Amino acid sequence: MRKTFASIDDALFECVFQPFSDLLTDRIGIGRGTAACIGIDCASLAWIASRVPGLSGAVIQWDATAAFLDLLLLLLGLIALVSLRTMFRRARGKQGNPLRLVMQPHRAVVLLMLVADLVQLQAPGLTDATDLAMLLCATAALYLGACTERPPVRRASPAFGPAA
């Protein structure tokens, strides 16, 4: 099973996310870590939007237990996303990005959740759309965070001529 997912994972890196990461770096100047953090921020906003209907419904009905559980779930999800954001900022490796191998099970779970959400999607409402947006942003963040940085561009020094 792990070898099967590894080939899918590598294909997603090679064909989609590494070229996208390189494009962001070349065209816009956004690095891998920043792109991953933007994805996590978007996932956090989508997570908040997906939990609002349940939380507000529990508050309107004066159901303290349901409101507490919905609030707890909201905070737990935000803590997990903020932890990922912190990890993306700190991840550096001398021989490539360490998150590519370490985060493989996380990417597998998020992709599985995304596929399960898409299979169950029949009449999408606002909650379903925000859940789907959260999973898409989290997936993109996990892949962008595990992409390798391009080596720094050597600039020519006017005093010494062009770079070698």
Cα 158 to Cα 136: distance, rounded to the nearest angstrom: 46
Residue 126 forms part of a structural domain: yes
Residue-level pLDDT at 88: 77
> 44 lies in a domain?
yes
CA distance 14 to 109: 20
User: How many domains is the chain built from?
Assistant: 1
Supply the mean pLDDT for the chain. 82
Q: Is the pLDDT of residue 94 over 70?
A: no
Of residues 71 and 97, which shows the higher confidence score? Answer: 71
Q: Point out which residues pair with 157 in neighbouring strands.
A: 161
Domain holding 34, by residue range, is 2-146
Decide if pLDDT at 5 tops 70: yes
Does 134 reside within a domain?
A: yes
Average pLDDT (91-111) is 77
The stretch 18-25 carries a mean pLDDT of 88
- pLDDT per residue as tens digits for the range 135-159: 999 999 999 888 876 555 555 555 5
For the ranges 37-51, 89-103, 106-120, 132-146, which has the lowest average pLDDT? Answer: 89-103
Is residue 154 domain-resident? Answer: no
158 lies in a domain?
no
Quick check: is 68 in a domain? yes
The full DSSP string for the chain is -HHHHHHHHHHHIIIIIHHHHHHIIIII---HHHHHHHHHHHHHHHHHHHHHHHHHHHHHTT-HHHHHHHHHHHHHHHHHHHHHHHHHHH---TTS-THHHHTHHHHHHHHHHHHHHHHH-SS--HHHHHHHHHHHHHHHHHHHHHSPPPPPPPPPBTTTBS--
Report yes or no on 124 lying in a domain: yes
Binned at pLDDT 50, 70 and 90, residue 162 comes out as low
- Global pTM reads 0.77
